Amino acid sequence: MILSAINTMNLKFDPVLSAQDEENFRFFLNNAYGLHLHEHQQDKFKKAVYDTCQKFCISSAAALLEKIQQDPFCDERILLIQQITVDESYFFRDDEQQKFLKTEFLPKLIAQKRQAQDKHLRIWSAGCSTGQEIYSIAILLYQLLPDFSEWTLHLLGSDISHQSLEQAIAGKYNRWSIRTDENFINHSGYFTPSDERYYQLKDFIKNKVKFFYLNLAEDTFPSLMNQTCYLDLILCRNVFIYFTPEVIEKACHQFAQALRPEGVLMLSVTDPVNFSCLELNKEKWGEVFYFKRKNEFLVEETQDDSYYSETSLSSFDNIDSASIVSQPVKDEPQSDDLEEIKKKVIPLLRKSLWSQVIESCNLALVNYSKDADLHQFKAKSLVNLGQFNEAKLACEKSIVCDDLDPHTYLLYGLILLQLELYDEAEKAFRQTVFLNHDFMEAHYQLGQVLLYKGQKKQGVKAIKNALKLAEEGDKNQPVHNVITLTYASFSEIIKNELTVLNDKQ
């Protein structure tokens, strides 16, 4: 301890970054996280570099950069990203947007759901910082839903900062973070005094939200794997101010794909809004701007297939028509045999044309009702249209037709997770692992469902098994359910999640 203090006192560090240092850091931050530092963010960036070097006794900015490039999970990198990206956050931030959500958007959304007899709400805070935003949404929903306990609330918060996620998961805040009147803090029923400075969010709100690591600059969403699909609302506030225009447009396209038709994307008033996204309409309520996904949008045929995020297609990516086993109900020749039908359906899946996939599968199932693949294709498409109960039924039919396909059990488990049927989901993932013990994604999802059930030790063990398989596998192999994500990239995501979980211990 004394030696550490002496080393810190003797540290000679020049707080002035050279032009080359700044350029190297800019390149690193943009390449790794899609971050773009604007002129007004320079002082914050330089202070973050200086503070990180001081804390870890690093003699120069160049030495710090070398360290964080070599070790993506080192404490130095975690602290630096935390200090660069985290802005002050507090409950019910931005009065006008909160008014829009409370009096306009959420009441209308709830009414539509009730009319459709669909008590599911799916909301994602992308770049959630320390969690106040998504917890504010949970509190609003509690106020707006007299039958709160009867709804399935799919509330997500994601960030690239381990420290922010750790605090968000803890749900413990000081008075300034809550920043509202005394009655709300002391008499609302949402908080319990933890000590003289902090307040603990009560479990009936805190346990409604799932937090996870996600880098918005990567092709990891939308995906059933991290549940970022068919969302009613995406909040991404004070995030785009860090991104380049290219990263913003790419992220907006992915957000549009993650939203249900007429789902809404909300940015902050400080975020740039002059980007091009054909799938989104810019709309206004009072002084509040937001973006609504169009009911339908055309997929440009000139785009490369890899541009489209997929959710459960990897088992069919390299499909060999000669290897497809037909299971027709009728023996007489058909105008389109099963092999040809699948060849036509697979491109529709790749282009995310879910309604067309369902229509094609329904027509084919008249003659090939016992084909497991057709039922699985249909199930995947129903998931992406938010029809989870129907997807569950289609998946069960696929399993009846072929009860030895681990990919179907994985999809089935993911659907059950969306429906919060955790015991059944655990059984499905365990069956997947039984059929293929090297199925990395199944180990990962088994870990997730065990965490949901409060079995942290077993959950972390399963996630570590997934990490081992990912590191031992082909680093360029695409992850099942997220075709644009490789094993190498997914290994880093798993390590980030394990870091957050270990911080909670």
The structural domains of the chain, with segments of one domain joined by +, span 2-85, 95-293, 305-504
Question: How many other C-beta atoms are found inside a 10 Å radius of the C-beta of residue 472?
Answer: 12
CA 22 from chain center: how many Å? 31
Which one of 1.10.1740.10, 3.40.50.20, 1.10.10.10, 1.10.155.10 gives the CATH number of domain 2-85? 1.10.155.10
The SS3 of residue 137 is helix
Q: Is 134 exposed, middle or buried (0-12, 13-18, 19+ CB in 10 A)?
A: buried
Task: Select from 1.10.300.10, 1.25.40.10, 3.30.70.20, 1.10.1060.10 the CATH code of 305-504.
Answer: 1.25.40.10
Q: What is the pLDDT of residue 15?
A: 56
Q: What is the rounded distance in angstroms from the CA atom of residue 38 to the CA atom of residue 329?
A: 63
Residue 267: closest CA among 294, 291, 243, 231: 291
Q: Which two tokens stand for residue 445?
A: 């999802």
Cα–Cα distance, 496 to 490 (Å, whole number): 10
pLDDT of amino acid 321: 31
The span from the CA of 86 to the CA of 239, in Å, is 9
Distance CA 87, CA 128 (A): 10
Q: How far apart are the first and last CA of the chain?
A: 24
How deeply is 25 buried, as exposed, middle or buried, from its count of CB atoms within 10 A (0-12, 13-18, 19+)?
buried
For residue 390, what pLDDT is reported?
Answer: 95
Q: Which pTM value belongs to this model?
A: 0.74
Instruction: Using CA atoms of 474, 479, 483, 485 in order, give the dihedral in degrees to the nearest 10.
Output: -80
- Between CA 497 and CA 464 the distance in angstroms is 10
Distance set, CA 37 to CA 125, 213, 238, 240, 270 (Å):
22, 22, 13, 11, 15
- Taking the CA atoms of residue 475, residue 477, residue 481 and residue 484 in that order, the dihedral angle to the nearest 10 degrees is 80
Alpha-carbon distance of 432 to 409, in angstroms, equals 6
CA distance 465 to 270: 42
Any residues with CB less than 8 A from the CB of 174 and at least 6 apart, and which?
197, 198, 199
Q: How far is CA 30 from the centre of its chain?
A: 20
Distance CA(192)–CA(181), nearest Å, equals: 15
What pLDDT does residue 13 have? 54
What helix, strand, coil percent values describe the chain, rounded to 5? 55, 15, 35
Given this model, what pLDDT does residue 438 score? 96
Count Cβ atoms below 10 Å from residue 125 Cβ, excluding itself.
27
Distances (CA, A) of 279 to 124, 227, 258, 272, 444: 18, 21, 11, 17, 32
Which of 127, 154, 352 minimizes the C-alpha distance to 253? 352
**DSSP symbols for 96-120:** HHHHHIIIIIHHHHHHHHHHTT--E
In this structure, how many other beta carbons lie within 10 angstroms of the beta carbon of residue 300? 9
Look at residue 4 in the predicted model and tell me its pLDDT.
39
- Taking Cα atoms as reference points, which of 451, 444, 452 lies closest to residue 468? 444
Reduce the DSSP state of residue 155 to 3 states and report it. Answer: strand
C-alpha–C-alpha distance, residues 290 and 109, integer Å: 15
Nearest to 395 by CA among 414, 377, 376: 376
CATH for 95-293 is 3.40.50.150
Cα torsion 188, 192, 193, 198: sign:
negative
Which of 422, 427, 457, 421 minimizes the C-alpha distance to 442? 427
- What is the H or E stretch that residue 452 is in? helix 440-452
Secondary structure tally for the chain: helices H, strands E = 22, 12
Q: What pLDDT is recorded for position 315? A: 38
- At 193 the three-state DSSP class reads strand
Per-residue pLDDT of the chain (505 residues; tens, 9 = 90+): 333 333 444 445 555 678 888 888 888 887 777 677 767 677 888 888 888 888 888 888 888 888 888 887 688 887 887 777 666 677 888 889 999 999 999 999 999 999 999 999 999 999 998 999 999 999 999 999 999 999 999 999 999 888 888 889 999 998 877 766 666 776 678 988 887 788 899 999 999 999 988 888 877 788 888 889 899 999 998 888 778 888 888 899 999 989 999 999 999 877 776 677 888 999 999 988 899 998 765 443 333 333 233 333 333 333 333 333 333 434 434 446 899 999 999 999 888 888 999 999 999 999 999 999 999 999 999 998 889 999 999 999 999 999 999 999 999 999 999 998 999 999 999 999 999 999 999 999 999 999 989 899 999 999 999 999 999 999 888 887 665 678 888 888 888 888 877 755 4
